Amino acid sequence: MNRCQKFARLLQLLGQCSESIVYYDEIASVVQRIRQIESIMAPIQFHSNQVFDETKHIVDPIAKKYLEKATNDVHHLIPGKVADDGNCLYHSILLLMNNPTMTTDELRVRTIIELMTNEAYYDSMYSQFIGSVAFIIKAMCRNNTFSELYEISALCNVLKCNIRSIYPKIDFREDMTILNNVFTPAPPAIANRNIEILWSHVLNETAARAANNGEWSPNHFVPLLSSAMNYTSEYENKSPTFPTPEKKTFNNNTPTRIRSPEFECSPSSRRRIDNMGMYSTQSISSSVLQQSQSDIEEQRRVRLDAQKERARSSRMNETAEHRQIRLEKQKHRDQSRRSNETEEHRQLRLEKQKTRNQSNETIEQRQIRLGKQKTRNQSNRSNETEQQRQIRLEKQ
């Protein structure tokens, strides 16, 4: 079995896991086993091929029209045509790679592994705005399902490259600045390449609007390449490649809305996260954030309610054995996360847990808790040294 066949088989196995009632645990188990296969899990050496070659590449005429509506500094780039089979983001990466052994199956599997391995990071960054990583991963495990923001963010780390997201100026949005942005690997990784991806559509603008109640929404990604002449000129001049603001993964904590594409071009397509996501940036003003906050909270509430209902339905159908397995794995997962969390994260988690517990308790439970707390305090004070007593009194 060659490399391509191995990853095709692994993706098929992940797809089977996604159909299980305890899909998360089964996917996590398979991912753990895949990570131990050193022969196929060496880091990708990403050498981008960013020059358009007429003997290899085909211009996407529809995407070219959309590119004309993007920011002026990318009009010289050429959109390459890729398949619109649901793997368009991965096809775009393949076209930019100088690696004939790489496949969309491998890129999808590696992206799933990245999201599962660093789930706590991605959840802490985005889950409250664009949904849980766990639900996204379930859909990702099925081949030919369309990609969105989690995948773009994860691919930056898989490839160790900056991905410039280019969004055409159609139907102005307050989050347009974020959609036209550069996404980078999470520190301490350092990007060694820059690539450009265009949000596009398989139909021209008129037809796309007609199919979507008069609104335009992207459902396709294409890679952007330079002509040989422009590439040589840019290399010699060493001019900056990306004038747009860069997304800072850790140091920049101002949340802003970002749109997820609505994919409609394939029978197997799925809608994931209808309108908005959130990314960190400095480019959106606080006034815009305040205007959108109520909409975001409402969408988040509806999304969480739907997720809870799905989870409740799955648990009602599970056997006692499955329930025991799920709870045991959840316990191990929680222990693993807590062992890796910083002291600051630990304090935040405990504070949130304390708030939740107190908000759900009855008057009787509150009286019992306060009584026990009083007893503990008295016991602690009776056993404290004079120095500890002085410190306590000073703090008060």
Average pLDDT over residues 63-70: 97
**pLDDT for residue 122 is more than 80:** yes
pLDDT for the residue numbered 237: 52
Q: Decide: 258 and 149 in contact? Cβ < 8 Å.
A: yes
Query: Which is nearest to 133 in space by CA: 315, 273, 309?
Result: 273
**pLDDT for residue 69 is more than 90:** yes
Long-range contacts from 125-128, C-beta under 8 angstroms, 24+ separation? 125/249, 125/280, 126/150, 126/153, 126/277, 126/278, 126/279, 128/278, 128/300
pLDDT for the residue numbered 249: 44
DSSP H or E stretch at residue 335: helix 320-340
- What total number of domains does the chain contain? 1
Is 191 inside a domain boundary?
A: yes
Is 213 inside a domain boundary?
A: yes
Q: Is the pTM of this model over 0.75?
A: no
Is 232 inside a domain boundary?
A: yes
Is 238 inside a domain boundary?
A: yes
Instruction: Write the CB contacts of 36 (distance below 8 Å, at least 6 apart in sequence).
Output: none
User: 170-182, pLDDT tens digit by residue?
Assistant: 987 766 777 788 9
**pLDDT for residue 82 is more than 90:** yes
Q: Between 141 and 377, where is the model more confident? A: 141
Distance CA 272, CA 300 (A): 13
Domain hosting residue 219, numbered range: 46-101+123-310
Query: Which is nearest to 44 in space by CA: 84, 92, 97?
Result: 97
pLDDT for the residue numbered 133: 87
> Confidence class of residue 364 from pLDDT cuts 50, 70 and 90?
confident
**What residues are paired with 274 via a beta bridge?**
none
Is 60 inside a domain boundary?
A: yes
User: 255-288, pLDDT tens digit by residue?
Assistant: 444 444 444 444 444 444 333 333 333 333 334 3
Is 58 inside a domain boundary?
A: yes
The pairing of strands 255-259 and 78-79 is unpaired
> Confidence class of residue 375 from pLDDT cuts 50, 70 and 90?
confident
- Residues recorded for the chain: 396
Helix, strand, coil % (nearest 5) of the chain?
55, 10, 35
Is 248 inside a domain boundary?
A: yes
Is 118 inside a domain boundary?
A: no
Chain centroid offset of residue 196 CA: 18
